[in-house]
Structure 1
Amino acid sequence: MGTAETDFAHQLDGLSHRHGVVSFDPRGYGQSRPPNRRYPADFYHQDAADAAGVMDALGCGAYHVVGWSDGAISAALLASQRPEAVRRLVVFGIQAYITQEDVETYEGMRDVETAWSPRMLATHRPVYGDDLQPMWSSFCDAMRAIHEAGGDFCQREAKGLRCPTLILHGEKDPLVPAHHPQWFRDNIAGSRMQVFPGGKHNIQQKFAGEFNRAVLDFFAE
């Protein structure tokens, strides 16, 4: 539920000296409002298709992709949808499926006033105002519905990926247990995984320098 500017400020600046950087707020988030965010069953696929549409509109026929959290799922789907365009893929904070444990984690964070940190509220409240709680509750509901429908986010698509893939993970990520990125490492041919010791969910912010170096080095291979 963050925005390109709040979540990726270090990358918009830190990667742009070597690459042209395109970042956008998915529909219903950040500056891509109104309308408010909705969570249909296929919203990850919808976000991937929107990203492809943005790149098409910009005339970009080949590009590297970096995705975080929900955006990482959509990034993997984008690489599946556009294998001719996505040259290299970097994902972090990613899940291919949702477990009952994951659902319970989200439920424990449902009330933004009591469960979110002051920093998270300070980041999101100015963007969404009174819409923050309803939007987040809708997301929690969507996670439960996907779990009840089988729990798959992108397993089939990820197993078919052939682009070079780097999986980054914060060792102490409270939202994404290690078995999630390990699944991608084990199921995407030729992929590799790098763990940030002590890192949590926002490694691109807390370890910006190391994160950017890892991404730039991977792109340069």
Structure 2
Amino acid sequence: MVAALLLTGRSLLKCRMSGVKATQRLCSSVSSGRHRVNGVDLYYEQTGEGKHAVLLIPGALGSTQTDFGPQLKSLNKERFTVVGWDPRGYGRSRPPQRDFPPDFFERDAKDAVALMETLGFGRFSLLGWSDGGITALIAAATKPQLIDKMVVWGSNAFVSQDDLKLYNMVRDVSKWSERMRRPMEEVYGAEAFAKTWESWVDGIAQFAHRPEGSICVEHLPLISCPTLIIHGEKDPMVPSFHPHYLHKHIKGSRLHLMPEGKHNLHLRYAEEFNKLVEDFLEESPDYFSTPNN
């Protein structure tokens, strides 16, 4: 859930060109641009020429720049077309200022789907990290006709009292190490980052007041696409009962545990993660005919 805490702090797309307008070519063979979607200008980056389109959905306060460098750089560009984006109010999709109404995950899911449709993709797969995994779950449940496959990690469908304790422990970013704060302060500025982070903590805590603490519990039975749930067994921010809950309630899903993985397993173990994802995305859907492999 708390993606910002565990970022590597490195930007792997250092050759970014400034002054992005509609679409420009970057020296890393990544195109970037902005599209007007649901009343806001959303920033995205796109790479690869494969037939299988994949959308990367970042975590809390995350962006293409902070969250998915190794995936944009190294996922197979002949097999996949990979799109990273900054949800509204995050990264380069500002303004508007980010807020967290009760439906903010649903709003992000609608934005994500609409952006891919605007880019011309009729069907696509989702890779969602942390908050982005929640967004992916909702998108897959509400737009099943558009989603081929889905991978989520570091995600949860409800907020428990254990989760609330973890969120409150990290509310005050001044208590974070400088190394952990730096990537987000570079994107938002120190003051704006601290305020937005506190707003996120309040935003995610509001779900604890719902029945069962539900964020998207009711959506899980509606998911029909092949789904891979990945969990780092050393994830300090997402207790292990969350991925097991997702696995139990998403029909035909598969759970893959990484013994040394933490919350940022796709960054720390990028090569292993990327291969796991590529193999899954190319696998025959027949595998998923047996529930909960």
TM-score w.r.t. structure 1 length?
A: 0.97
Compare 136-145 and 161-170 and name the one that shifted more.
Answer: 136-145
Correspondence 1:1-221 to 2 at 5 A: 1-17=61-77, 18-114=79-175, 116-129=176-189, 130-150=191-211, 151-221=213-283
Which letter does structure 1 place at the counterpart of 2:180? M
In the TM superposition, what whole-angstrom CA distance separates every residue of 1:148-180 from its partner, at most 9, and x where no partner exists? 233211111112211100000111111101100
In the TM superposition, what whole-angstrom CA distance separates every residue of 1:76-133 from its partner, at most 9, and x where no partner exists? 111112111101000000100000110111101011010x233321110111112011
C-alpha separation between the residues in 2 aligned to 1:16 and 1:50? 25
C-alpha separation between the residues in 1 aligned to 2:273 and 2:168? 30
Which letter does structure 2 place at the counterpart of 1:133? A
- What residue ranges of structure 1 are gaps of 5+ in the alignment? none
* Percent identity for Structure 1 against Structure 2: 43
Q: Which has the higher helix share?
A: 1
C-alpha separation between the residues in 1 aligned to 2:107 and 2:183? 25
Q: Which has the higher strand share?
A: 2
C-alpha separation between the residues in 1 aligned to 2:129 and 2:146? 19
| CA displacement at 1:34 relative to structure 2 | 1.4
| CA displacement at 1:16 relative to structure 2 | 4.3
| CA displacement at 1:144 relative to structure 2 | 2.1
C-alpha separation between the residues in 1 aligned to 2:264 and 2:208? 24
Greater RCO, CA 8 A, separation 6+? 1
User: 4+ residue stretches of structure 1 with deviation over 6 A?
Assistant: none
Which letter does structure 2 place at the counterpart of 1:97? F
| CA displacement at 1:3 relative to structure 2 | 1.2
C-alpha separation between the residues in 2 aligned to 1:27 and 1:16? 28
TM-score w.r.t. structure 2 length?
A: 0.73
- The structure that has the greater radius of gyration is 2
C-alpha separation between the residues in 1 aligned to 2:123 and 2:200? 32
| CA displacement at 1:191 relative to structure 2 | 0.6
